[in-house]
Structure 1
Amino acid sequence: MENLISVIVPVYNVKPYIKECISSILYQTHNELQVILIDDGSTDGSGEICDQFAKQDARIEVIHQKNAGVSAARNAGLQRAIGKFVIFTDSDDKLPATAYQDLLESWTGEDSFVIGRVQYINENGEKLSISSDFGISKIDINTFTRELLEERKFSYLGYLCDKLFVRDVIIKNGLTFNPVIQLNEDRLFILQYSILCKKVMFCNKIIYLYRQRSDSAIGETRQSSTVLDKEMTMIEAFLLMEKICQSQSKTLYYVCVRKAYENILGLLGRVSAKDIEKKKRLTTILWTHCALCMKNPEYKLVDKLKLIIHSILKR
């Protein structure tokens, strides 16, 4: 099938939402699909629900594995994927009926990938805010990669699930998800993928319904009294992204370094004083990145003074 889409869905303890998620995939107006459900060691019956759907629809494949995290689950899905395109979906979210059709209509060739807009919903599925209209149909990769890190003009571009990827680009370049990194792994993968393309296409239609849950990974970090171990892996993601950016241009490298610095500042603002080892590591990396930012030729003296002041205040 010329436009076969492999839909990769990691599943872990999402029994209240999984049926709605799978149904929204199966009833797409574009139905040339390979749906890969990866049961990542669920203990609430989610895996059994996946098996029930597979018995009813031949397009579904189910992988059962011990709990290894979302990155390992996505990698397992990539190994099984055979479609021309790949889409990643979180198992507690859902999609409008025309999502895949809309993304495909915006795709223009092998050297591009497509991003759609997101509708946020609450735990009960009620609509909340919507990501802004892009206002344009395409941008070049240099502009996209900078915006991916700076987040100034567009809504957050680091989501994985609102994008249509070309599988050949992933396979031929050996792209996988780093299982060690538990936060910011999406943006790392998108950066790795995007530098292999020439342009990014925008689909100005809602193609994803993103459920905001209080018990999600992000919700868990907000409720914690200190920085979680999984949040510390965000630093490793930035260190890898800095190497990638450095191979592309000095400008992009300094943008990535500044973004890492800002995120480390945020972590230092939340880490408990009793969490000595994390505080020490964050402080060390903060000053390392402060020194790197100071080398940015675009920064004036006042910019450098602000960096030093912010770093001192967070010690």
Structure 2
Amino acid sequence: MEDLRQRTQVSIIIPIHNAEQYLRRCLDSVMNQTHACLEVLLIDDGSTDRSKSICEEYVRQDCRFQYIYQMNQGAAIARNTGIDCATSEYVTFLDSDDSMEPGFVKQVLTEMLMTGSDIGLCDINYVDNETAEKEVSRIRFYGKTASASKTKSIFNTVRTFIWGKIYKRELFSKIRFPDLKFFEDLSIVPFMAAIANQIVYIPLPLINYYRNRNGSLSENAYNIGELIRALDLLGSFLRSSKLYDDFTDSYKKMCMAQLRFTYRRFGNRKQEKVLEQLCKLKEYVLNLFPQLYPLTECSFYTERNNHLLAQAIDKAVLYNDQIVDNIEVSNYVICFSDCVTEGVSQPTIAIKRPEHMDEESAAYDIAEEIIMAFS
């Protein structure tokens, strides 16, 4: 196995557009990988700064690096160019302003080979670009391996980022990145999770995602229209592959999660165009799944950094037909209750928004109960 792993080549595809400020940090992290058998494809998407000269410097230093130029078409098309040029059985993607921990390729690839998995993924370091302070974000993954054929929730577990994962290249014979400027990975990563024979999870933060970057496109509220297109394309990919019926609940949950996330991020903006975009996203989701309308009116409460509670709420959304807000008799953040709808009593989850909680640990205890109940 050790010899096989060392001889297994991985293609690292890096789309680059005017990235001179962060590019050396990115490429140094690739050069420092403990797995040596690499093919590094630097796809220059029409840069006009010094990105080209930096790339050519690394190509001269390291024969594993290849520089490929294309007219500016966006990161999605640049990644497709990388896939077309890749010669390895396995591929991974890295944004030019992020970086890899030295053991990323070696540790993820090793687990993929040992388990025969099509996708390997790891935890994430969210790094403050100004202070370099790191916050570890754990993937909500139950067990070491999983597959969509046995666990439909894997569709929502792998997260929608294309980076932080290694893929068998043959998965891309069934799908490519759509021509979107933003959210292009959201439209294909869940689909690949659905078709993968198995996914393996490595519980280590091996990818560094940098926050607070000047001009970060992910912070632009005016791109919500692209989010709608990405969700629509994901649904189309599922339908064309005859997978939609199997993953309707998972797709519903993903649409709801994206709606909630977008409202949390941009809901306090006052610009008319932003509010218009938010309304369009809400209308899109509710047209697909009108039964989700009550959920959009709920007040979801979490303690600061209480990821476990957020996970519990996400779990509840998938398995319950109705979530009730502001149950006066509840003294807890989340409680089980009964709701009478049209004369029929049905179990529901009540979400309450208290003014404060004396003990944050109480929220964790309740969250654990929820997770156990729906596991």
Q: Shorter-chain TM-score category?
A: 0.7 to 0.9
Task: Label 1:61 to 1:297 Cα distance change in 2 as closer, same or farther (>3 A).
Answer: closer
| Offset, 1:271 | 7.5
Contact 2:11 2:90 in 1 (8 A): yes
Structure 2 residue 239 is matched with structure 1 residue 232: no
Give the structure with higher Rg (CA).
Answer: 2
Query: 1:142-181 counterparts in 2 under 5 A?
Result: 142=149, 146-149=153-156, 157-171=159-173, 173=174, 175-180=175-180
Task: Label 1:254 to 1:62 Cα distance change in 2 as closer, same or farther (>3 A).
Answer: same
Match of 1:36 among 38, 41, 46: 41
CA distance in 2, matches of 1:11, 1:25: 14
Aligned to 2:147: 140
Task: Label 1:83 to 1:219 Cα distance change in 2 as closer, same or farther (>3 A).
Answer: closer
CA distance in 2, matches of 1:48, 1:14: 11
Q: Which amino acid aligns with 1:288?
A: N
CA distance in 2, matches of 1:142, 1:293: 25
CA distance in 2, matches of 1:52, 1:162: 26
Aligned to 1:312: none
Structure 2 residue 69 is matched with structure 1 residue 64: yes
Aligned to 1:310: none
Structure 1: gaps of 5 or more residues: 222-226, 307-315
Aligned to 1:255: 250
Aligned to 1:126: 132
Contact 2:148 2:154 in 1 (8 A): no
Percent identity over paired residues: 21
Residues 149-188 of structure 1 show CA distances to partners (whole Å, capped at 9, x for unaligned) of 3x6xxxx7222211010112323x2x210012512x2232
Task: Label 1:125 to 1:74 Cα distance change in 2 as closer, same or farther (>3 A).
Answer: farther
| Offset, 1:208 | 0.9
User: How large is the RMSD of aligned CA atoms in angstroms?
Assistant: 3.3
Structure 2 residue 321 is matched with structure 1 residue 299: yes
Aligned to 2:100: 95
SS at match of 1:259: helix
| Offset, 1:217 | 3.6
Task: Label 1:46 to 1:219 Cα distance change in 2 as closer, same or farther (>3 A).
Answer: same
CA distance in 1, matches of 2:278, 2:193: 33
Task: Label 1:6 to 1:304 Cα distance change in 2 as closer, same or farther (>3 A).
Answer: farther
SS at match of 2:153: helix
SS at match of 2:195: coil
CA distance in 2, matches of 1:34, 1:53: 13
Task: Label 1:81 to 1:271 Cα distance change in 2 as closer, same or farther (>3 A).
Answer: farther
Contact 1:102 1:205 in 2 (8 A): no
Structure 2 residue 121 is matched with structure 1 residue 115: yes
Q: Please, which moves more after superposition, 239-248 or 197-206? A: 239-248
Task: Label 1:249 to 1:11 Cα distance change in 2 as closer, same or farther (>3 A).
Answer: closer
Structure 2: gaps of 5 or more residues: 1-5, 294-317, 325-338, 342-347, 349-375
Structure 2 residue 48 is matched with structure 1 residue 47: no
The number of aligned residues is: 292
